[in-house]
Amino acid sequence: MSATGPRKLPIVVLISGSGSNLQAIIDAAQAGLPVEIRAVISNKAEAYGLERARQAGITTRVLNHKDYPDRESYDAALAAVIDDCGAELVVLAGFMRILSDGFVRRYEGRMLNIHPSLLPRHRGLDTHARALAAGDAVHGATVHFVSPELDAGPIILQARVPVQPNDSPESLAARVLREEHRIYPEAIRWFAEGRLKLDQGRALLDGKPISP
């Protein structure tokens, strides 16, 4: 530690929407999480998360996927922005894009995602409605390393929430989101402190495999 505190890990946060997880990360950084958010990048100009970033004085970039002929050229432009920022960790926080294999490999071991279910249950979209339809008694959220297969990367941290008999997808989503806002900054802290690694397809914390 120096006189100015521990080194801050340069990160970028990718969003498409509300950005409540982004807000949790901004709040945590202001409270001492050792990261510097170099940029918030959105594929949608209207994403409310961009406004959150602006209010926190963070650089914003919009890369509209409709401006690119195919996924590879979009992902190449995205990677150029990320690398220009000098980001050492890419944080997906509600970024609603399928990423090409090449992009995922480029950031292997340094790209995290949060997914609103207890993976491997309910990969993909509409997780809250699907948990209710399946009669799940417990639901939750998962932070994981990103791997080429969608929502299938090594699990880092999960939070479980009870499903209530009168839950709607919206009430369940709100309960899960509260937990997301707790576990995402925590997982980012582990990474920033050098405690969290991806090693041969396994997530390790302090050198030991994480078993959810």
Residues that bind ligand GRF (CB under 6 A): 15, 17-22, 49, 93-94, 114-116, 141, 177, 180
* Amino acid found at 53: A
Give the nearest distance from C-beta 117 to ligand GRF in angstroms. Answer: 8
Give the nearest distance from C-beta 14 to ligand GRF in angstroms. Answer: 10
Our CB check for ligand GRF shows the closer of 20 and 76 to be 20
Q: Is 115 a catalytic residue?
A: yes
Nearest to 85 by CA among 61, 51, 67: 61
Give the nearest distance from C-beta 161 to ligand GRF in angstroms. Answer: 12
How many residues are listed for the chain in this entry?
212
Q: Kindly state the helix (H) or strand (E) to which residue 144 belongs, with its residue range.
A: strand 138-145
Phi, psi of 136 (to 5 degrees): -60, 135
Q: Which residue is nearest to ligand GRF (CB)?
A: 94
Our CB check for ligand GRF shows the closer of 38 and 122 to be 122
The residue from 115, 122, 144, 181 that is catalytic is 115
Our CB check for ligand GRF shows the closer of 94 and 185 to be 94
Strands, sheet with 138-145, edge to edge from the N-terminal-most edge strand: 60-62, 35-42, 9-15, 89-92, 111-115, 138-145, 155-162
Phi, psi of 165 (to 5 degrees): -60, -35
**Is the bond preceding residue 212 a cis peptide, omega within 30 degrees?**
no
Our CB check for ligand GRF shows the closer of 48 and 68 to be 48
Give the nearest distance from C-beta 114 to ligand GRF in angstroms. Answer: 4
C-beta neighbour count of 132 within 10 angstroms: 16
Catalytic residue numbers, as ranges: 115
